[in-house]
Every structure is written in C-alpha cells, then in structure tokens.
Amino acid sequence: MALSDHLRELRARLIRSVLAVIVIFCVALYFYGHLLDLILVPYNDARERLGGEVQTQAVVNDVTGPLLLQLKLCGVVSVIAAAPYWLFQIWAFILPGLHPSERKWSRVFAAIAGPLFFAGVAVGYYVLPKAIEVLIGFTPDNVTNLVEFGKFFSFITRMLLVFGISFEIPLFVVMLNLAGVVSGKALGRYRPWIVIGTFVFAAVATPSTDPFSMLFLAVPMLVLFIIAEIIARLSDRARGRGQNSTEQWADDEVSPL
C-alpha cells in the first residue's frame, strides 16, 4: 500500500473509534445516575466504617460543577467501555506489517492484557473503601471534611489506573523475555530486588498509610512476577532445546559419512 492509502486507512479507523466512543458516551449519559452511585460506593462504605467519628460530606463546587462532573464521568466511562473496540482498530492497523510469529504473540498479548487490566481495576475498587477510610480518618475532631467530588473522581481514576497498569507489568516482562531482552535466569538472580521494588512501588502507589492496601497491590504483583519467571525459564529452555537441535542438524549435514 502507498503511504496515502495507509493514512486513509488510519483516518477511517480513527473515525470508527471516535464514533464508538460517542455512541457509548450518549448511553452513559442516560445511565448517569447509576454510574454516579457506583462511583460513590467506596466513599459511602468508608463513611459507614468511620461510624460517625468523622464528619464528612461529598460536595460539588461552582455553578458549572455538576455539568462538568457529568461530562467527565461519562467521558471516562465511554473511553473505558469502548477500549476493546478502539484497541482492536489499532491492532488491525498494525497487524498487516507483522511477521507470522509476531502476529501469534500479539494475539496472545491481546487475549491476556485485557483480563489482567480489569482484574487490577477490580482489586483497586475493592481496596478503595479502606484507603478512603484511612485518609478521611486523619480529619481532626470538630472539623467537617468536605470531599469535592471532582477531585474525588480524579483520585479514584488514578487509583484504578495504577492497579490496572500494575497488573500488566509481569506480562511485559514475559514479552521482553520472548523478544530475547530478559532471560529467566536474570529474573531469578534479581528476584530479591524485584520483591523489594514491588513493595516500594506498592507503598508509593497506594495513598493510604495502612499496610492492607499495599499488600493488596504487592502480593498479586509478586504472584504474577513468579508466574512470569516460570514462563520465561520454560521459554528459555525450549529455545535452548530448539537451538541445540538446529546445531546438531547442521553438524550432521556437514559431517562426513
């Protein structure tokens, strides 16, 4: 294909992706009340756990605040809900330029990356009430904590993204191993540092000071890292066997009878 044809195909796929986001955005506007209740669940759970010890209330500032909040919430939901479609459009645009082996691994990556990301988001959503409870618990006595909902929504979005992306890191390690950048032996040699780095990352990524939020992020990451190391070692062993068999075949071909 000529460059102009590639650009036209890219434009068509971008238009399809934008249209999908717009359609889902309109649907999200219709279900805005349910989406708002879903976002408020962690905050309401945290307030119930505090049991009235801290006075806190969710508020919206400014005259345009409610409208901006509605647009922001529905926009984020539409982009996330349409992610399978626009990611497929990106993949379909890149796919013709890949080799057969690269296509196979890209399919494996696409099949695993999505569930891992949503699993991380689910864990983050489960941890949020405890994290919010700890953070609001620092409010002094006789002081009301007014939670501005726009900032609260940004906080939740960042937390869920951190958990979702963190669950993807071991998958990238496996892809680097398949590309020949990282070996299984190297992962085993640096395993203690990986464990320490994972706990440090989890402590920094989770804003609450309680150890439970950190453990909910660090432990699944370590389990995924161990699985990634096992896969990398098996892959290295399989490649080693294949290389040895190829070398042996070459020796047999050139050796005299």
Domain ranges of the chain: 3-239
pLDDT at 249: 36
Cα 175 to Cα 185: distance, rounded to the nearest angstrom: 15
Q: What tokens does 4 get?
A: 């102009």
Vertex 38, ends 37 and 41: CA angle to 5°?
Answer: 85
Cα 34 to Cα 28: distance, rounded to the nearest angstrom: 9
Q: What is the DSSP letter of 1?
A: -
pLDDT at 129: 85
pLDDT at 15: 92
Rg of the chain over all Cα atoms, to the nearest angstrom:
24
Q: What is the DSSP letter of 180?
A: T
Cα 18 to Cα 10: distance, rounded to the nearest angstrom: 12
pLDDT at 256: 47
pLDDT in tens, 187-228: 888 888 988 888 888 888 776 666 777 787 888 888 888 888
pLDDT at 185: 85
Cβ within 8 Å of residue 166, ≥6 positions away: 120, 201, 202, 205, 217, 221
DSSP string, 78-98: HHHHTHHHHHHHHHHHHGGGS
pLDDT at 18: 92
Residue matched to tokens 């620092």: 138
CB 73 within 8 A of CB 36: yes
pLDDT at 101: 67
Q: Mean pLDDT per segment of 10 residues, for the chain of length 257 residues?
A: 74 90 93 90 86 82 85 88 81 73 71 82 85 82 84 85 83 79 84 88 73 79 87 81 45 47
pLDDT at 207: 67
